[in-house]
Amino acid sequence: MTAPARVSVLLVTKNGERYLAETLQRVRAQRGRFQLDEIIAVDSGSRDKTLTILESHAVRVLRIPPQDFGHGKTRNLAAAQAQSDYLVFLTQDATPANAGWLAALLAPLLADPSIAGAYSRQLPRPHCHPMEWRRIVEDELSGRTESYLNSSEALDYANNPAFFYFFSNVSSVLRRSAWQKFPFPEVDFAEDQLWARQVLEAGYQTAYRADSLVYHSHGYGPWPNFRRHFDHARALGDIDSASRLSLGRMVPLAWRAARRDLSFWRWLTHQGRLRVGLRWGALALAWHLAALWGTWLGERKHSLAPSLARRISLQESIKQK
């Protein structure tokens, strides 16, 4: 009989007390043919109850100064400390939805050695606002109800590579041997997608698992949403060098997206048109305009002074808290 897969669960934490205890409880409650060897967290300066929660759940904690945090660099640090063959990355605010989350996430890697990594489907939390809720459930990259494999051998890869190398460390697993060959790029954002592109073009596959479910959503308003999209576009700009967004398209795109949000919310909540429009109409339009403006500016990062880019960046502001 084949020995159970050995697994390390790795987190990066900072001021994560809101969901952390629930997340760790769900991790410990997982069932399946695997052995959970350890949970490791790299904490970058928490000032709330995060460290106390980690200690109470027998998590091994590595502490680093806030200024040393980087999404790729810090996850590489956690992976280097891990002892297992499978490295599971989970953000502090991603809560497994059930006891089968981890077994479903591991399944493709156990079945096929050519698969370097897999990532989970995300679900909105109950208090999520309409714009984020619709984005999550309608996103074909992280919200689809069908699992699939990604490969650079796909017929459409050359025309639309970003679709195939999408990957999310909100909840993911990497084969340790693949990570040793291809550690995460040491970037502040989108390390997961940059990593996925490397492994796909080296001949590996990645998997999206629709049956591995985590609750994960943000309640960002327009300003944090602007900053989040700025970071994302800035991180991916070097591999998607051709801008797909012009200033003249922003208002029509935002208007159409906001109308879809309101229609979706009326359908989901069975509320009337007037009530939904008054409550969410202006905010939805502002939210999408902020996202588009942040994307446009992030795509033109080389035109910005470094000091201004740091002030805009959401990741930089989190480091400083």
Q: Are 147 and 242 found together in one domain? A: no
Last residue of a domain, one of 173, 189, 215: 215
- Name the domain boundary from 215, 250, 275: 215
Contacts of 256 (CB under 8 A, 6+ apart): none
pTM recorded for the entire structure: 0.89
Looking at the fold, whether 19 and 136 belong to one and the same domain comes out as: yes
89 & 115 share domain = yes
Please write the tens of the pLDDT for every residue from 271-312.
Answer: 999 999 999 999 999 999 999 999 998 888 888 888 888 888
**Locus of tokens 């077994």:** 103
Look at the chain and report how many structural domains it folds into: 2
CA dist 270 and 235 (Å) reads: 39
Each residue's pLDDT tens digit, 201-245: 999 999 999 999 999 998 889 999 999 899 888 877 655 544 566
**Secondary structure (DSSP) of 266-320:** HHHH---HHHHHHHHHHHHHHHHHHHHHHHHHHHTGGGS-HHHHHHH-HHHHHHH
Same structural domain, 87 and 120: yes
CATH of the domain at 168: 3.90.550.10
* Domain range enclosing 267: 222-320
Same-domain pairing of 209 and 232? no
Do 232 and 183 share a structural domain?
A: no
- Kindly state the average pLDDT of the residues 96-121: 97
Out of 191, 215, 239, a domain closes at 215
Decide if 209 contacts 142 (C-beta within 8 A).
no
**Residue 150 and residue 110 in one domain:** yes
Buried b (16+ CB within 10 A) or exposed e, 244-278: ebeeeebeebbeebbebbbebbbeeeeeeeeebbe
Are residues 155 and 291 part of one domain? no
Residues 81 and 12 placed together within one structural domain of the fold: yes
The model's pLDDT over 50-70, given as tens digits with 9 standing for 90+, comes to 999 999 999 999 999 998 998
196 and 103 both lie in a single domain: yes
Same domain, 140 and 89: yes
What pLDDT is attached to residue 242?
47
The DSSP 8-state label assigned to residue 56 in this structure reads H
